[in-house]
Amino acid sequence: MAETATATDEDELAADWSTTTDAPEEAAPVSGSGERILNQDEIDSLLGFASGEGEENSRTGVRAIINSALVSYERLPMLEVVFDRVVRLMTTSLRNFTSDNVEVSLDSISSIRFGDYLNSIPLPAIIAVIRAKQLDNFGLMTVDSSLIYSVVDVLLGGRRGAPPMRVEGRPYTTIERMLITRMIEVMLADTGQAFAPLTPVDFSLDRIETNPRFAAIARPANAAILIKLRIDMEDRGGRVEMLLPYATLEPIRKLLLQQFMGEKFGRDNIWEGHLASELWRTKVEVSAVLDEMTAPLSQVLNLKVGETLMLNAPPGAHVELKCGAATITRGRVGRINQNVAVRVEQPLQTAGRLAVMKAGEGA
Protein backbone atom coordinates (compact mmCIF):
# COMPACT_ATOMS: atom_id res chain seq x y z
CA MET A 1 0.00 0.00 0.00
CA ALA A 2 2.87 2.40 0.77
CA GLU A 3 4.45 1.74 -2.60
CA THR A 4 1.15 2.43 -4.39
CA ALA A 5 0.72 5.77 -2.57
CA THR A 6 4.27 6.78 -3.43
CA ALA A 7 3.74 6.02 -7.12
CA THR A 8 0.52 8.04 -7.16
CA ASP A 9 2.25 11.08 -5.64
CA GLU A 10 5.03 10.90 -8.18
CA ASP A 11 2.51 10.82 -11.06
CA GLU A 12 0.75 13.92 -9.72
CA LEU A 13 4.07 15.83 -9.40
CA ALA A 14 5.01 14.88 -12.95
CA ALA A 15 1.63 16.08 -14.26
CA ASP A 16 2.00 19.41 -12.41
CA TRP A 17 5.53 19.86 -13.81
CA SER A 18 4.40 19.21 -17.39
CA THR A 19 1.53 21.69 -17.02
CA THR A 20 3.91 24.35 -15.79
CA THR A 21 6.40 23.89 -18.60
CA ASP A 22 3.70 23.79 -21.31
CA ALA A 23 2.21 27.20 -20.28
CA PRO A 24 2.47 29.93 -22.99
CA GLU A 25 5.22 32.47 -22.57
CA GLU A 26 2.84 35.38 -23.25
CA ALA A 27 1.02 34.90 -19.97
CA ALA A 28 1.66 37.79 -17.61
CA PRO A 29 3.66 36.73 -14.54
CA VAL A 30 2.02 36.98 -11.19
CA SER A 31 3.83 38.35 -8.18
CA GLY A 32 3.78 36.77 -4.79
CA SER A 33 1.05 39.16 -3.58
CA GLY A 34 -1.34 38.07 -6.34
CA GLU A 35 -1.01 41.30 -8.44
CA ARG A 36 -0.53 40.98 -12.19
CA ILE A 37 2.61 42.51 -13.71
CA LEU A 38 1.98 44.62 -16.84
CA ASN A 39 3.70 43.71 -20.08
CA GLN A 40 5.49 46.21 -22.30
CA ASP A 41 2.51 46.95 -24.56
CA GLU A 42 0.31 47.77 -21.59
CA ILE A 43 2.99 50.02 -20.10
CA ASP A 44 3.35 51.88 -23.41
CA SER A 45 -0.41 52.32 -23.65
CA LEU A 46 -0.59 53.64 -20.09
CA LEU A 47 2.19 56.15 -20.66
CA GLY A 48 0.78 57.22 -24.01
CA PHE A 49 3.56 55.73 -26.19
CA ALA A 50 1.34 53.59 -28.40
CA SER A 51 2.73 51.83 -31.44
CA GLY A 52 0.70 53.90 -33.91
CA GLU A 53 2.06 57.08 -35.42
CA GLY A 54 -1.23 58.97 -35.56
CA GLU A 55 -2.09 62.09 -33.63
CA GLU A 56 -4.69 60.23 -31.60
CA ASN A 57 -2.10 57.94 -30.03
CA SER A 58 0.09 60.77 -28.81
CA ARG A 59 -2.69 62.29 -26.71
CA THR A 60 -3.48 59.38 -24.35
CA GLY A 61 -2.34 58.24 -20.92
CA VAL A 62 0.22 60.20 -18.95
CA ARG A 63 1.30 62.09 -22.09
CA ALA A 64 -2.17 63.59 -22.31
CA ILE A 65 -1.68 65.02 -18.81
CA ILE A 66 1.80 66.29 -19.66
CA ASN A 67 0.59 67.87 -22.90
CA SER A 68 -2.42 69.50 -21.25
CA ALA A 69 -0.53 72.79 -21.34
CA LEU A 70 -0.61 72.76 -25.15
CA VAL A 71 -2.77 75.40 -26.77
CA SER A 72 -5.86 74.37 -28.67
CA TYR A 73 -7.68 77.43 -29.95
CA GLU A 74 -10.28 77.96 -32.62
CA ARG A 75 -9.25 77.78 -36.24
CA LEU A 76 -8.92 81.01 -38.16
CA PRO A 77 -9.79 80.00 -41.74
CA MET A 78 -9.13 83.40 -43.27
CA LEU A 79 -5.63 83.48 -41.77
CA GLU A 80 -4.77 80.43 -43.87
CA VAL A 81 -6.01 82.25 -46.97
CA VAL A 82 -3.92 85.29 -46.06
CA PHE A 83 -0.72 83.29 -45.73
CA ASP A 84 -1.41 81.44 -48.95
CA ARG A 85 -1.27 84.87 -50.56
CA VAL A 86 1.89 85.61 -48.55
CA VAL A 87 3.55 82.54 -50.10
CA ARG A 88 2.72 83.66 -53.64
CA LEU A 89 3.77 87.26 -53.08
CA MET A 90 6.94 86.31 -51.22
CA THR A 91 8.03 83.91 -53.95
CA THR A 92 7.99 86.72 -56.49
CA SER A 93 9.56 89.30 -54.18
CA LEU A 94 12.43 87.08 -53.06
CA ARG A 95 13.17 86.08 -56.65
CA ASN A 96 13.58 89.76 -57.47
CA PHE A 97 15.54 90.35 -54.26
CA THR A 98 18.06 87.52 -54.72
CA SER A 99 17.99 87.18 -58.54
CA ASP A 100 17.77 83.44 -57.95
CA ASN A 101 15.17 80.71 -58.31
CA VAL A 102 13.40 80.93 -54.96
CA GLU A 103 10.53 78.68 -53.89
CA VAL A 104 8.49 79.57 -50.79
CA SER A 105 6.17 77.00 -49.20
CA LEU A 106 3.88 77.05 -46.19
CA ASP A 107 4.78 74.23 -43.79
CA SER A 108 2.20 74.64 -41.05
CA ILE A 109 0.01 77.03 -39.03
CA SER A 110 -0.31 75.98 -35.40
CA SER A 111 -1.01 77.31 -31.91
CA ILE A 112 1.69 77.48 -29.26
CA ARG A 113 2.41 79.20 -25.99
CA PHE A 114 4.78 82.12 -26.27
CA GLY A 115 7.19 80.85 -23.62
CA ASP A 116 7.41 77.41 -25.25
CA TYR A 117 8.25 79.01 -28.58
CA LEU A 118 11.07 81.13 -27.17
CA ASN A 119 12.59 78.02 -25.59
CA SER A 120 12.36 76.09 -28.87
CA ILE A 121 14.17 78.61 -31.09
CA PRO A 122 17.35 76.95 -32.43
CA LEU A 123 20.33 79.22 -31.87
CA PRO A 124 22.05 80.98 -33.47
CA ALA A 125 19.21 82.80 -35.18
CA ILE A 126 18.08 86.32 -35.99
CA ILE A 127 14.82 87.32 -34.31
CA ALA A 128 13.01 90.33 -35.74
CA VAL A 129 10.50 92.11 -33.51
CA ILE A 130 7.81 93.43 -35.85
CA ARG A 131 5.09 95.95 -35.16
CA ALA A 132 1.57 95.89 -36.59
CA LYS A 133 0.59 99.55 -36.74
CA GLN A 134 -3.20 99.28 -37.08
CA LEU A 135 -3.38 96.43 -34.57
CA ASP A 136 -1.15 98.33 -32.09
CA ASN A 137 0.81 95.25 -31.07
CA PHE A 138 3.89 93.21 -31.87
CA GLY A 139 4.93 89.91 -33.44
CA LEU A 140 8.13 87.96 -34.11
CA MET A 141 9.85 86.74 -37.25
CA THR A 142 12.67 84.24 -36.80
CA VAL A 143 15.22 83.42 -39.51
CA ASP A 144 17.30 80.30 -38.88
CA SER A 145 21.04 80.12 -39.43
CA SER A 146 20.89 77.99 -42.60
CA LEU A 147 18.73 80.55 -44.39
CA ILE A 148 20.90 83.40 -43.13
CA TYR A 149 24.08 81.91 -44.56
CA SER A 150 22.29 80.93 -47.78
CA VAL A 151 20.90 84.42 -48.39
CA VAL A 152 24.23 86.07 -47.56
CA ASP A 153 25.99 83.66 -49.91
CA VAL A 154 23.53 84.37 -52.74
CA LEU A 155 23.60 88.15 -52.32
CA LEU A 156 27.40 88.27 -52.16
CA GLY A 157 27.85 86.20 -55.32
CA GLY A 158 28.41 82.69 -54.02
CA ARG A 159 28.67 79.92 -56.58
CA ARG A 160 25.73 77.63 -57.17
CA GLY A 161 26.08 74.07 -56.05
CA ALA A 162 28.59 74.92 -53.32
CA PRO A 163 27.24 74.75 -49.77
CA PRO A 164 27.51 78.06 -47.87
CA MET A 165 30.38 78.36 -45.41
CA ARG A 166 29.23 78.32 -41.82
CA VAL A 167 31.26 79.49 -38.87
CA GLU A 168 29.37 78.35 -35.80
CA GLY A 169 29.86 79.87 -32.40
CA ARG A 170 30.32 83.48 -33.50
CA PRO A 171 27.86 86.39 -33.59
CA TYR A 172 26.53 87.59 -36.90
CA THR A 173 28.48 90.37 -38.55
CA THR A 174 27.07 93.79 -39.38
CA ILE A 175 26.94 92.93 -43.10
CA GLU A 176 24.98 89.74 -42.42
CA ARG A 177 22.54 91.56 -40.14
CA MET A 178 21.98 94.33 -42.68
CA LEU A 179 21.35 91.89 -45.54
CA ILE A 180 18.88 89.86 -43.49
CA THR A 181 17.20 93.08 -42.34
CA ARG A 182 16.55 94.01 -45.97
CA MET A 183 15.10 90.56 -46.63
CA ILE A 184 12.83 90.83 -43.56
CA GLU A 185 11.56 94.21 -44.73
CA VAL A 186 10.66 92.68 -48.10
CA MET A 187 8.77 89.86 -46.32
CA LEU A 188 6.89 92.31 -44.07
CA ALA A 189 5.80 94.36 -47.09
CA ASP A 190 4.41 91.19 -48.68
CA THR A 191 2.61 90.25 -45.46
CA GLY A 192 0.94 93.65 -45.25
CA GLN A 193 -0.08 93.38 -48.90
CA ALA A 194 -1.61 89.94 -48.22
CA PHE A 195 -3.71 91.36 -45.37
CA ALA A 196 -4.87 94.34 -47.47
CA PRO A 197 -8.00 92.70 -49.03
CA LEU A 198 -9.14 91.75 -45.52
CA THR A 199 -8.08 94.81 -43.54
CA PRO A 200 -5.22 97.32 -43.85
CA VAL A 201 -2.28 96.26 -41.65
CA ASP A 202 1.16 97.81 -41.95
CA PHE A 203 3.99 95.64 -40.61
CA SER A 204 7.23 97.41 -39.79
CA LEU A 205 10.54 96.22 -38.34
CA ASP A 206 10.97 97.42 -34.77
CA ARG A 207 14.36 95.88 -33.89
CA ILE A 208 16.64 92.91 -34.47
CA GLU A 209 17.60 90.55 -31.62
CA THR A 210 19.81 87.47 -31.39
CA ASN A 211 18.89 86.53 -27.82
CA PRO A 212 15.33 85.21 -27.32
CA ARG A 213 15.18 86.75 -23.84
CA PHE A 214 15.35 90.23 -25.37
CA ALA A 215 12.56 89.41 -27.85
CA ALA A 216 9.86 88.91 -25.21
CA ILE A 217 6.71 90.69 -26.42
CA ALA A 218 4.15 88.73 -24.38
CA ARG A 219 3.85 86.67 -21.21
CA PRO A 220 5.15 83.10 -21.42
CA ALA A 221 1.69 81.60 -20.89
CA ASN A 222 0.02 83.69 -23.61
CA ALA A 223 -1.19 81.87 -26.72
CA ALA A 224 0.12 82.68 -30.18
CA ILE A 225 -0.17 81.59 -33.80
CA LEU A 226 3.01 80.11 -35.31
CA ILE A 227 3.41 80.17 -39.09
CA LYS A 228 6.31 78.17 -40.53
CA LEU A 229 7.57 79.03 -44.01
CA ARG A 230 10.17 77.11 -45.99
CA ILE A 231 12.41 79.00 -48.45
CA ASP A 232 14.41 76.94 -50.97
CA MET A 233 16.96 78.28 -53.43
CA GLU A 234 17.80 75.19 -55.47
CA ASP A 235 20.27 73.28 -53.24
CA ARG A 236 20.22 75.72 -50.30
CA GLY A 237 17.66 77.45 -48.15
CA GLY A 238 16.15 77.44 -44.70
CA ARG A 239 13.13 78.26 -42.60
CA VAL A 240 11.34 81.45 -41.55
CA GLU A 241 8.91 81.39 -38.64
CA MET A 242 6.38 84.13 -37.93
CA LEU A 243 4.75 84.33 -34.50
CA LEU A 244 1.62 86.44 -33.95
CA PRO A 245 0.16 86.50 -30.42
CA TYR A 246 -3.61 86.12 -30.18
CA ALA A 247 -3.68 89.55 -28.50
CA THR A 248 -2.29 91.00 -31.74
CA LEU A 249 -4.97 89.34 -33.88
CA GLU A 250 -7.85 90.08 -31.48
CA PRO A 251 -8.95 93.34 -33.21
CA ILE A 252 -9.47 91.45 -36.50
CA ARG A 253 -10.55 88.13 -35.00
CA LYS A 254 -14.05 88.30 -36.51
CA LEU A 255 -12.57 88.89 -39.95
CA LEU A 256 -10.21 85.93 -39.57
CA LEU A 257 -13.09 83.64 -38.52
CA GLN A 258 -14.75 84.08 -41.93
CA GLN A 259 -14.96 81.04 -44.16
CA PHE A 260 -14.78 83.28 -47.23
CA MET A 261 -14.17 86.95 -47.98
CA GLY A 262 -17.15 89.15 -47.09
CA GLU A 263 -19.03 86.67 -44.91
CA LYS A 264 -21.85 88.43 -43.02
CA PHE A 265 -22.11 86.14 -39.95
CA GLY A 266 -25.87 85.56 -40.21
CA ARG A 267 -26.82 89.00 -41.57
CA ASP A 268 -29.71 88.72 -44.04
CA ASN A 269 -30.04 91.62 -46.49
CA ILE A 270 -33.48 90.44 -47.63
CA TRP A 271 -34.81 90.54 -44.07
CA GLU A 272 -33.26 94.00 -43.53
CA GLY A 273 -35.04 95.35 -46.62
CA HIS A 274 -38.36 93.82 -45.52
CA LEU A 275 -38.02 95.28 -42.02
CA ALA A 276 -37.20 98.73 -43.39
CA SER A 277 -40.22 98.72 -45.71
CA GLU A 278 -42.53 97.70 -42.85
CA LEU A 279 -41.13 100.41 -40.60
CA TRP A 280 -42.06 103.05 -43.18
CA ARG A 281 -45.67 101.81 -43.04
CA THR A 282 -45.86 101.85 -39.25
CA LYS A 283 -48.33 104.35 -37.74
CA VAL A 284 -47.23 106.34 -34.70
CA GLU A 285 -49.61 108.42 -32.56
CA VAL A 286 -48.27 111.92 -31.95
CA SER A 287 -49.78 114.33 -29.42
CA ALA A 288 -49.51 118.14 -29.54
CA VAL A 289 -49.24 119.51 -26.00
CA LEU A 290 -49.90 123.25 -25.65
CA ASP A 291 -49.33 123.43 -21.89
CA GLU A 292 -49.23 121.26 -18.80
CA MET A 293 -50.49 122.22 -15.34
CA THR A 294 -50.69 120.63 -11.93
CA ALA A 295 -53.97 120.67 -9.97
CA PRO A 296 -55.17 119.01 -6.76
CA LEU A 297 -57.11 115.81 -7.16
CA SER A 298 -60.12 117.32 -5.40
CA GLN A 299 -60.30 120.09 -8.01
CA VAL A 300 -60.12 117.59 -10.83
CA LEU A 301 -62.91 115.51 -9.30
CA ASN A 302 -65.13 118.60 -8.95
CA LEU A 303 -64.85 119.57 -12.62
CA LYS A 304 -68.21 120.01 -14.35
CA VAL A 305 -69.32 120.39 -17.92
CA GLY A 306 -68.86 123.96 -19.12
CA GLU A 307 -66.05 124.98 -16.75
CA THR A 308 -63.00 126.68 -18.22
CA LEU A 309 -59.36 125.82 -17.46
CA MET A 310 -56.91 128.69 -17.80
CA LEU A 311 -53.59 127.72 -19.42
CA ASN A 312 -50.35 129.62 -19.03
CA ALA A 313 -49.57 129.49 -22.75
CA PRO A 314 -49.77 132.92 -24.45
CA PRO A 315 -50.92 133.27 -28.07
CA GLY A 316 -48.29 131.97 -30.50
CA ALA A 317 -46.56 129.83 -27.85
CA HIS A 318 -44.63 126.73 -28.89
CA VAL A 319 -46.32 123.36 -28.83
CA GLU A 320 -44.47 120.17 -27.86
CA LEU A 321 -45.03 117.16 -30.08
CA LYS A 322 -44.83 113.96 -28.04
CA CYS A 323 -44.99 110.27 -28.76
CA GLY A 324 -46.02 108.74 -25.49
CA ALA A 325 -43.80 110.27 -22.81
CA ALA A 326 -40.98 111.20 -25.22
CA THR A 327 -40.71 114.71 -26.64
CA ILE A 328 -39.97 114.57 -30.37
CA THR A 329 -39.90 118.22 -31.48
CA ARG A 330 -41.54 121.64 -31.03
CA GLY A 331 -43.71 123.76 -33.29
CA ARG A 332 -46.49 126.42 -33.49
CA VAL A 333 -50.23 125.93 -33.77
CA GLY A 334 -52.00 127.32 -36.82
CA ARG A 335 -54.90 126.63 -39.14
CA ILE A 336 -55.03 125.27 -42.68
CA ASN A 337 -58.53 125.63 -44.17
CA GLN A 338 -60.79 124.05 -41.56
CA ASN A 339 -58.05 122.00 -39.85
CA VAL A 340 -55.86 122.84 -36.86
CA ALA A 341 -52.21 122.32 -37.84
CA VAL A 342 -48.80 122.43 -36.18
CA ARG A 343 -45.78 123.80 -38.01
CA VAL A 344 -42.58 121.98 -36.99
CA GLU A 345 -39.84 124.50 -36.20
CA GLN A 346 -37.12 122.31 -34.65
CA PRO A 347 -35.34 119.16 -35.84
CA LEU A 348 -36.23 115.82 -34.31
CA GLN A 349 -34.46 115.08 -31.05
CA THR A 350 -32.22 111.98 -31.03
CA ALA A 351 -33.08 111.14 -27.43
CA GLY A 352 -36.75 111.35 -28.26
CA ARG A 353 -36.34 109.03 -31.27
CA LEU A 354 -34.48 106.50 -29.13
CA ALA A 355 -37.23 106.68 -26.49
CA VAL A 356 -39.86 106.10 -29.19
CA MET A 357 -37.95 103.06 -30.46
CA LYS A 358 -37.68 101.64 -26.93
CA ALA A 359 -41.38 102.28 -26.35
CA GLY A 360 -42.16 100.44 -29.58
CA GLU A 361 -39.98 97.49 -28.52
CA GLY A 362 -41.76 97.35 -25.16
CA ALA A 363 -45.15 97.36 -26.85
pLDDT by residue for the chain (363 residues), tens only, comes to 444 545 556 666 555 545 544 444 444 454 455 577 878 777 777 666 654 544 444 455 566 555 554 455 567 888 888 999 999 999 999 999 988 888 999 988 888 888 889 888 888 889 999 999 988 899 999 998 888 888 888 888 776 655 555 556 678 888 889 999 999 999 999 999 999 888 899 999 999 988 888 888 888 888 899 999 999 987 788 899 999 998 898 888 888 887 776 655 556 677 888 888 888 888 888 888 878 888 888 888 888 888 888 777 777 778 888 888 888 888 888 888 888 888 888 887 765 455 545 554 444
Q: Tell me, what's the pLDDT at 31?
A: 47
Q: Tell me, what's the pLDDT at 138?
A: 92
* Distance of alpha carbon 363 from alpha carbon 360, whole angstroms: 5
Q: Tell me, what's the pLDDT at 2?
A: 45
User: Torsion over CA of 79, 85, 88 and 93, rounded to 10 degrees?
Assistant: -100
Please choose, from the candidates 327, 316, 337, 315, the residue with its C-alpha nearest in 3D space to the C-alpha of residue 289.
327
- Beta strands 287-289 and 318-323 are antiparallel
Q: Tell me, what's the pLDDT at 21?
A: 47
Measured distance between the N- and C-terminal CA atoms of the chain, rounded to whole angstroms: 111
- Residues in the chain, overall count: 363
| Domains in the chain: ranges and CATH | 41-69 (no CATH), 77-256 (3.40.1550.10), 272-289+316-363 (2.30.330)
> pTM for the complete prediction?
0.56
